[in-house]
Amino acid sequence: MGRFIVKDSFYERAKKEGYRARSAYKLMEIQKRF
């Protein structure tokens, strides 16, 4: 089995802004709500 790689807009933004993973955006989204 190969590694699962998703190249979506979040992935591209994360790379550009220096985050290690796109999950950084998910965490920020959750924090905004609460």
From residue 17, alpha-carbon distances to 1, 12, 28, 34 in Å are: 30, 9, 14, 24
Domains contained in the chain, number? 1
Give this prediction's pTM.
Answer: 0.36
For position 11, what pLDDT does the model report?
Answer: 72
Q: Give 3-state DSSP helix, strand, coil % of the chain, rounded to 5.
A: 60, 0, 40
For position 18, what pLDDT does the model report?
Answer: 72
pLDDT tens per residue, range 1-34: 556 666 677 677 777 777 777 777 778 788 887 7
For position 7, what pLDDT does the model report?
Answer: 66
List the domain range (segments joined by +) for residue 25.
1-34
